Structure 1
């Protein structure tokens, strides 16, 4: 990155991260229910709303409450050079049950209600729209403010009447039911002269009053996109045209129109004619943020393919492939497993694409497929523990990744409920480790030095291969059951939302 005078641009200062707020934090010793564990996080394009999904099939929405005053929005205040000291704040808005557990009787297969992905759609008529999916079914939800009406004043107060005469004559039988207008129900066989109507009528007789309470958000399922995937859906992504989206499973990517749920178009199919010849599966798919004809998908072999929908109806051939070949002699039993890419994200401007495999983050320039522009070692100190990670299935954990809105930093999660933030500008030395807690800097270690293109030896203060391998900066053994898989970066500000079990933590810098 060059400056105006042709020299290297000044490096941005490393960010100092602070705890902002937490939702659903556990008390000490409190057990977490499996259905409450967060499985998806997503900001909308404006950053004013945040959605989370959990293993119980619920979607919870949060809305931003800070930086709103009579002068306008936070961005307007910044343009006016008005100092702003408050950080991002969100509050609970609403929640709804998106998916229920199902059973496929034809395949004798249980379908979990767990929310795999959430994607926001374009907002229209002050209504929030989003897509959510479990393993098999995608749903299109619309959340809108609705005023609830109720009758607040009844039409009669029997304690008030004109005159001193009684509403009911003394001879009225207890088995006869008077009506508010002085009459009587026919089913009780009341004689016409049993009840006397007060002279002047009832002063309190009036029409019921219907009042509107405060507007409450109401979620309504607009469409259900089902029966299009034989394998588990791992990702969905909205197109920039606002009309279409894709859904991907292990072997196929389908293209949908938001308005049509009865059919989809298969645009990528990697299923071989003989399943014994299967060598890789699709792990994630993402539309380009601005080019509606371009999308990328990653594979279990560690490659990212860029495809152009204008080339053909079935995109068997990619326009570009981004993959880094392993060094000769470095292959091991775990090589293919840890090479599998669990998540990909385009930068906001669409120039870069970020991929997360088990051990590293790789940042690719779409104009340069010879190699990544930066590689970040997330937990290299776990390499001696790969056998243990394989035994307890942790090696198959799917960590997500994200980029800042300005494209200067990337972030991803790790074990011990920690996440890492790296500077990705050329020459940047920024590499911060934080723990998902009220004191996120508790386990932070000194930023290690690294070359411009790669972070080759970020060991989190632990000796590689030594007796403390697999321990954190304080020497405590890692608990591989605590992991930070899901996180999202605010689209315009330096704020990160991340999930640790059932708790949603938010940080700002």
Structure 2
């Protein structure tokens, strides 16, 4: 419910050569010069063995001007420090699920299940509510806000996902309270293929603008889709993430895995899209060649440095339901509790602007 603004600083030098503290001086004098130590013990201490008096021992004592040090800086391995600069509170009653910085670099939005607030980065105690779908009776709230993001260049536009296969585009220039959307990206559901789980697996869990601002990426339980601004009635691309789980929806529903949320991201050049399935894996789709790659973010204990290494594992061409290490590991006909715990691993996914790096947050077994 609280948003914090952090400042990351990369340091290549550290200060060294500080003057010792009084405790360090007294300790060094006591250990390095036993005669001096004995000479500084008060006479009263000898007459009272149970009494401890360190008043004279803790007094700093410099023997010569050479004991004084001048602090200097030394080159070290680069380290990153994060320090909180501002804390934005008292705006959300529910847990925040999305944060997005505006292209004007002055404002940002925060979203929970029922509200989206607009903040100024310089004002920490006040925000403006731009969307509120919270009813008087919370039992009437059937579709919640799952994600929200600002347009990469148009600072007045943002998109948010709300239940089912619905992503809505809003323009703050039209209305101060964006309860009326400018466009809706929704695919018509075929009644013949509708099942008991259709509404659950088709609910959007994440939405993301492309860097060009011409496309929108959405993620539901089984697929990731690309939408064109000029075609809001159907996606231009549909990529299957783990279609093999469609036959196990009953077991996933019993274990609540069917309600898991996954994120999706674009590469800096908008050619690749990334999203996470299970078991610390995530998929990378090449939009130009239709090539799919399955990656694993893992940390090998005792063999690798403290940073997790990403090891690529290619998917086979053709039917995605028969491809990949992850598919082979998840072919059991029933999802048990142990497997359920193993499946909930990848918790976050993001890309680094201007580089081919991916930041993935995953839990360890």
TM class by shorter-chain length?
0.7 to 0.9
Aligned residues: 318
Write the distance in 2 (CA, Å) between the matches of 1:272 and 1:414: 33
2:112–2:146 Cα contact (<8 Å) kept: yes
Write the distance in 1 (CA, Å) between the matches of 2:268 and 2:161: 22
Deviations 1:169-201 (A, max 9, x none): x9x99549xxxxxxxxxx99xxxxxxxxxxxxx
Query: Cα 1:406–1:471, aligned 2, differ >3 Å: closer, same or farther?
Result: closer
1:294–1:306 Cα contact (<8 Å) kept: yes
SS in structure 2 at match of 1:388 = helix
Write the distance in 1 (CA, Å) between the matches of 2:182 and 2:41: 91
Q: Which has the higher contact order (CA 8 A, sep 6+)?
A: 1
Query: Cα 1:154–1:304, aligned 2, differ >3 Å: closer, same or farther?
Result: closer
The answer to whether structure 1 residue 253 and structure 2 residue 108 are counterparts is no
Query: Cα 1:383–1:268, aligned 2, differ >3 Å: closer, same or farther?
Result: same
The answer to whether structure 1 residue 440 and structure 2 residue 342 are counterparts is no
Instruction: Give the match for residue 380 of structure 1.
Output: 243
Greater share of helix: 2
Instruction: Give the match for residue 327 of structure 2.
Output: 472
Instruction: Give the match for residue 19 of structure 2.
Output: 152
Write the distance in 1 (CA, Å) between the matches of 2:231 and 2:213: 14
Write the distance in 2 (CA, Å) between the matches of 1:418 and 1:471: 8
Instruction: Give the match for residue 301 of structure 1.
Output: 164
2:321–2:327 Cα contact (<8 Å) kept: no
1:445–1:473 Cα contact (<8 Å) kept: no
Instruction: Give the match for residue 224 of structure 2.
Output: 361
Q: Specify every segment of 5 or more residues in structure 2 that has no aligned partner in the other structure, as ranges.
A: 30-35, 45-54, 57-61, 299-308
Residues 21-420 of structure 1 correspond to what in structure 2 (within 5 A)? 136-144=1-9, 145=11, 148=15, 151-152=18-19, 174-175=42-43, 204-205=64-65, 208-214=68-74, 218-420=81-283
SS in structure 1 at match of 2:224 = strand
Q: Specify every segment of 5 or more residues in structure 1 that has no aligned partner in the other structure, as ranges.
A: 1-135, 160-166, 177-186, 189-201, 449-456, 463-469, 504-509
SS in structure 2 at match of 1:358 = coil
Write the distance in 1 (CA, Å) between the matches of 2:264 and 2:166: 16
Tell me by how many angstroms 1:267 deviates.
0.3
SS in structure 1 at match of 2:258 = helix
SS in structure 2 at match of 1:440 = strand
Write the distance in 1 (CA, Å) between the matches of 2:95 and 2:233: 32
Query: Cα 1:398–1:338, aligned 2, differ >3 Å: closer, same or farther?
Result: same
1:153–1:210 Cα contact (<8 Å) kept: no
Tell me by how many angstroms 1:381 deviates.
1.1
Deviations 1:208-247 (A, max 9, x none): 3341445875543221111111111101111111111100
Query: Cα 1:389–1:475, aligned 2, differ >3 Å: closer, same or farther?
Result: closer
Tell me by how many angstroms 1:147 deviates.
5.4
1:361–1:376 Cα contact (<8 Å) kept: yes
Write the distance in 1 (CA, Å) between the matches of 2:91 and 2:65: 60
2:347–2:363 Cα contact (<8 Å) kept: no
Query: Cα 1:271–1:475, aligned 2, differ >3 Å: closer, same or farther?
Result: closer
Tell me by how many angstroms 1:205 deviates.
4.2
Q: Which moved more, 1:210-219 or 1:242-251?
A: 210-219
Tell me by how many angstroms 1:275 deviates.
3.3
Query: Cα 1:213–1:364, aligned 2, differ >3 Å: closer, same or farther?
Result: same
Query: Cα 1:244–1:149, aligned 2, differ >3 Å: closer, same or farther?
Result: farther
Write the distance in 2 (CA, Å) between the matches of 1:413 and 1:217: 27
Residues 420-499 of structure 1 correspond to what in structure 2 (within 5 A)? 420-425=283-288, 428-437=289-298, 440-442=311-313, 444-448=314-318, 458-461=320-323, 472-473=327-328, 477=332, 479-480=339-340, 481-482=342-343, 483-499=345-361
Question: What TM-score does the superposition give when structure 2 sets the normalisation length?
Answer: 0.76
Question: What TM-score does the superposition give when structure 1 sets the normalisation length?
Answer: 0.56
Query: Cα 1:174–1:279, aligned 2, differ >3 Å: closer, same or farther?
Result: closer
